[in-house]
Amino acid sequence: MSGFRLLFHPAIRRDLRKLPKQTAIYLVQEVFPAIAEDPFRGVRLSGELKDLWKVVAHHGGVSYRIVYEPDTRARTIFVLSVGARGGFYERLRRRVG
């Protein structure tokens, strides 16, 4: 199975800058490529966010969420938000409108 192309919400750059540098590097070099290879390895969200998926990555003793929307027709993944659990879903809801 060939991978999907990753697209990023404009705020992802800001999300990554808020993380420890080594964590951001880990997510960009390890986790994002794994999501691109198989976006359905994550967990589908529910309720008003039911079209979105998440992967939880652990680094430096902290759990980070990456939420994205896969599009199988276009073979793209739109990464919407990255961050630690605290307040994550409230920020995500504001971001997706």
Question: So where are the chain's domains?
Answer: 5-96
42 closest CA partner among 20, 58, 57? 57
Count of C-beta atoms within a 10 Å radius of residue 90: 9
* CATH class of the 5-96 domain in this structure: alpha beta
- Report pLDDT digits (tens) over 40-71: 999 999 999 999 999 999 999 999 999 999 99
- In order of 8, 11, 61, 64, 76, the CA distances from 69 in angstroms are 10, 15, 26, 17, 8
- Report pLDDT digits (tens) over 12-41: 999 999 999 999 999 999 999 999 999 999
Kind of pairing, strands 53-59 and 62-71?
A: antiparallel
Cβ(11)–Cβ(95) under 8 Å?
yes
